[in-house]
């Protein structure tokens, strides 16, 4: 058994678009479940891009405020005390579109996810396409590649 106080978990250096990210998995010693708490200022999002995990189920519990999730069927508002679930393969992105702060607990299983796809406009072919990340271990960069034209649409230094 492990017990932690959420506000005692320090935010590690991160490039997250959320104002505060508290990784709870390590503190609790979880092996099969990812748990994070996000604090979002107005305009902040839980992730960078509209995406899906092909190998992970995700559940988001809104603790404070309202978060709008972009989904394949449109925007879905989730308010404090409400929960939303995404099955593996469902596209989503949670964003605080309200004027107040929002706090969200995020659960993902399995804990480690490697099969992520993004859906966005490709600057090369101009189409809305599925784009996949690929890690270049040598340069320690993550490249996002368009599945239609094979162009590298962005690179992130790790």
Burial 72-89 (b: 16+ CB within 10 A, else e): eeeeeebeeeeebebeee
Domains and CATH numbers, the chain: 15-109 (2.60.120.10), 116-157 (no CATH)
pLDDT of residue 146: 94
Q: Chain centroid to CA 46: how far?
A: 5
The pLDDT, as a whole number, for residue 10 is 85
Q: Is 109 exposed, middle or buried (0-12, 13-18, 19+ CB in 10 A)?
A: middle
For residue 59, the model assigns a pLDDT of 98
Rounded Cα–Cα distance for residues 130 and 35 (Å): 26
Predicted confidence at residue 17, as pLDDT, reads 87
- Please give the average pLDDT of every successive group of 10 residues along the chain, which has 158 residues: 92 82 94 96 93 97 98 97 98 96 97 91 93 86 91 85
Sheet architecture: strand order including 83-86: 20-23, 34-40, 102-109, 57-64, 83-86
């Amino acid at each position: 058994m492990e017990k932690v106080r959420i506000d005692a978990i320090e935010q590690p250096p991160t490039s997250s678009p959320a104002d505060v990210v508290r990784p709870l998995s390590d503190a609790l010693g979880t092996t099969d479940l990812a748990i994070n708490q996000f604090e979002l200022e107005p305009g902040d999002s839980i992730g960078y891009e509209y995406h899906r995990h092909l190998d992970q189920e995700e559940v988001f519990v809104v603790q404070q405020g309202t978060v709008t999730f972009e989904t394949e069927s449109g925007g879905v508002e989730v308010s404090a005390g409400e929960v939303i679930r995404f099955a593996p393969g469902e596209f989503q992105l949670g964003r605080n579109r309200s004027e107040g702060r929002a706090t969200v607990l995020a659960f993902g299983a399995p804990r480690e996810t490697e099969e992520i796809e993004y859906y966005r406009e490709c600057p090369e072919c101009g189409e809305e396409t599925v784009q996949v990340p690929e890690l270049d271990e040598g340069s320690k960069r993550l490249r996002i590649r368009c599945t239609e034209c094979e162009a590298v649409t962005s690179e992130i230094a790790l």
